[in-house]
Structure 1
Amino acid sequence: MDELTAYATALGVSAAAGLNAWIPLLTLGILSRYTGIIDLTGEWDLLEQTWVLVVLAGMGVADFVGDKIPAVDHVLHAGGMVIAPVAGTVAALAASGGDGSPVIVALLAVFTAEFAQGARAAFRPVSTVGTGGTATPVVSAAEDTGSVALSVVALAAPVLAALAVVGAMIAAAFSGRFLWRRWSARRSTRGPA
């Protein structure tokens, strides 16, 4: 793996961690243990140990179920603001295989996972209020599916995953800016409270 591929892989798995912190770690461990798609080396091979896979699967199931319940999902997202960047950094460093600068990989991972988690946490209350919580399970399932897909694509086609992540980040930034302006304009027309 060259440096560019390492950075692209790091971008993909850390964005996946922003959507669901446990999925990229579990994906890396399973794929390293049972396939030839990735070979975790050094201390990172810990992710393919049975007890680690069981713990990650347990955390993943708890997150999967809890994230489908309105109000519980918001608590999980608050915790995710810390958990996602940590999980994203671990996944990125493990997946990059030591190629590229570990500092750049870690910084890229922290920023990307935090951005994805922040966008997710900002969008979810809008979805919950707008649908009375009925869309929460659907939105959560879409995030989980996206995390699995992004984790696998980041390993199989890293540049494609990186392009998708950058595109999604740009779209999220423009959407957030548009919604902020719209909200601000609506608030200013109401006058002082």
Structure 2
Amino acid sequence: MLAALTGLGLSAAAGLNAYIPVLLVGLIARYSDLVRLPAEFGWLTDGRVLAGLAVLLAAEVVLDKVPVVDSVNDAVQTFVRPAAGGAVFAATDAAGKLDSSTFMHDHPWIGWSLGIVVALIVHATKASVRPVANAGTMGAGAPVLSTVEDVASLVMSVLAILAPIVGLFAVLLLGYAGLRLHRRRRRRRAATRSAPT
């Protein structure tokens, strides 16, 4: 159960920033015993993979803070973030069940699928809010929102690994915030359409 909560938190974090949770899991698995990955996910601890992830993370951190470029980046990340979410969910779920045989252990595609769906929902919310925020702040909100998203991704990743139950509350809080933003956006659209011209 805790492994699934860890996977849920990490995949939600991947929806905000694909590289933070994957890099964190790889580093922790490489340099400590806190996360033990099964053999099929050993590539996550490879030094070259970690270096590549660090470069991609640096690029993401910069690109996501530039108005308009952030929307292009979000379009590209539509494929990357769900894939990262699936990978970290499957890796940590499998890691939590190394010594047991369970339904999800015997059917690893379930972990991949859940991670992809969770990351995609978070990513879609992020990608739909960002253009509205950019338009409303004339681009000034992009670096602020991006920084908040990066910090949230890091905090959620750490909580998912160290305190999965607390991480679950963070995911629920993120979902609630996303739902409120979505409803606010819909109300603004409706008000714009009904306003007299």
TM-score by length of 2: 0.88
Distance across 2 between alignment mates of 1:90 and 1:119: 20
Aligned residue number for residue 156 of structure 1: 162
- Equivalents in 1 of 2:126, 2:16: separation in Å? 7
SS at match of 1:18: helix
Of 175, 179, 190, the match for 2:196: 190
User: 1:50: how far off?
Assistant: 0.5
Match of 1:114 among 101, 107, 120: 120
Cα distance in 1 for residues equivalent to 2:177 and 2:51: 36
**Matched residue, 2:137:** 131
Change in Cα spacing, 1:170 to 1:103, as seen in structure 2 (3 Å) is farther
| Residue of structure 2 aligned with 1:167, choices 157, 168, 173 | 173
Separation in 2 of the partners of 1:64 and 1:89?
A: 21
Which deviations, in whole Å up to 9, do the C-alpha atoms of 1:75-108 show, x marking residues without a partner? 1101111111101101111122163612332222
Partner AA of 1:9 in structure 2: T
2:2 aligned partner, one-letter code: T
Distance in 2, Cα, partners of 1:186 & 1:138 = 26
Structure 1 runs not aligned, ≥5 long: none
Q: Which moved more, 1:146-155 or 1:90-99?
A: 90-99
Q: Which moved more, 1:149-158 or 1:99-108?
A: 99-108
Q: 1:64 aligns with which of 58, 61, 64?
A: 61
Distance 2:167 2:69 in 1: 30
Do the aligned partners of residues 137 and 181 (structure 1) sit closer, same or farther apart at CA in structure 2, a change above 3 Å counting? closer
Shift in CA distance, 175/128, structure 1 to aligned 2, threshold 3 Å: closer
Distance 1:135 1:33 in 2: 36
Deviation at 1:159, TM superposition (A): 1.7
* Aligned partner of residue 195 in structure 2, secondary structure: helix
Matched residue type, 1:18 = G
Asked if 1 retains the 8 angstrom alpha-carbon contact of 2:129 and 2:181, the reply is no
Q: Does 1:95 align with 2:92?
A: yes
CA root-mean-square deviation: 1.6
The 8 Å contact of residues 16 and 123 in structure 2, kept in 1 or not, is answered as yes
Deviation by residue 1:113-153 (Cα, 9 ceiling, x = unmatched): 01111111111112211111122112111111111111111
Q: Normalising by the residue count of structure 1, what TM-score does the alignment of the two structures yield?
A: 0.90
Runs of 4+ aligned structure 1 residues displaced above 6 Å come to none
Give the C-alpha shift of residue 190 in structure 1.
3.1
Question: 1: distance between equivalents of 2:48 and 2:113?
Answer: 29
Aligned residue-pair number = 188
% same residue: 37
1:105 aligns to what? 111
Long gaps (5+) in structure 2: none
Match of 2:148 in 1: 142
Look up the match of 1:30: 27
